[in-house]
Amino acid sequence: MLKTLNDVIDFIEDNLTNDIRIEDVAQYIGESDYHFRKIFQYISGMPLSEYIKKRKLARANHDLVDGQSVTDTAFKYGYQSVDGFTRAFKSWSGYLPSEAHKDKIIISFPKLSFYIDVNGGENMEVHIRELPAFTIAGVKKRVPMQFEGVNQAIVELAESITDEQKAEMHRLKSMKPKQVINASYEADEKFLKEEGDLTHAIGVLTTETDISPILDTVDVGAHTWAVFPNEGPFPSTLQNTMARTYSEWLPSSDYEVVDAPSFSFTNMDDEKENYAYSEIWIPVKERQRS
Provide DSSP, 128-188. EEEE--EEEEEEEEEEE--SSS--HHHHHHHHT--HHHHHHHHHH--SSS-S-EEEEE---
Letter for the amino acid at 196?
Answer: G
The contacts of residue 188 (CB under 8 Å, 6+ apart) are 145, 195, 196, 197, 198
pLDDT > 50? residue 232 = yes
Q: How far apart, in Å, are the Cα atoms of 203 and each of 77, 133, 139, 281? A: 47, 16, 6, 14
pLDDT > 50? residue 191 = no
Measured CA to CA, the distance from residue 17 to residue 91 in angstroms comes to 20
SS3 266: strand
Residue 194 has a pLDDT of 46
Measured CA to CA, the distance from residue 37 to residue 189 in angstroms comes to 9
Q: What is the pTM of this model?
A: 0.64
Sign of the C-alpha dihedral computed for residues 102, 104, 108 and 113 taken in this order: positive
Judged by average pLDDT, the poorest of 141-150, 183-192, 227-236, 281-290 is 183-192
pLDDT > 70? residue 1 = no
pLDDT per residue over 98-145, tens digit each? Answer: 999 999 888 888 888 765 444 445 667 889 899 999 999 999 999 887
The distance from CA 117 to its chain's CA centroid, rounded to whole angstroms, is 22
Residue 250 has a pLDDT of 80
Measured CA to CA, the distance from residue 246 to residue 225 in angstroms comes to 14
Q: How far apart, in Å, are the Cα atoms of 193 and each of 35, 45, 55, 120? A: 18, 7, 18, 27
Q: What is the mean pLDDT of the chain?
A: 86
HSE, side-chain direction, 13 A CA sphere, residue 95: 19
Measured CA to CA, the distance from residue 206 to residue 31 in angstroms comes to 32
pLDDT per residue over 10-56, tens digit each? Answer: 889 999 999 988 777 877 777 677 777 777 877 777 888 888 999 99
Residue 267 has a pLDDT of 93
Instruction: State the DSSP code for 94.
Output: S
pLDDT per residue over 92-102, tens digit each? Answer: 999 999 999 99
Which letter, b or e, does each residue of 1-14 get, where b requires 16 or more Cβ atoms within 10 Å of its Cβ?
A: beebbeebbeebee
For the chain, list the domains and their CATH numbers.
Answer: 2-103 (1.10.10.60), 127-286 (3.20.80.10)
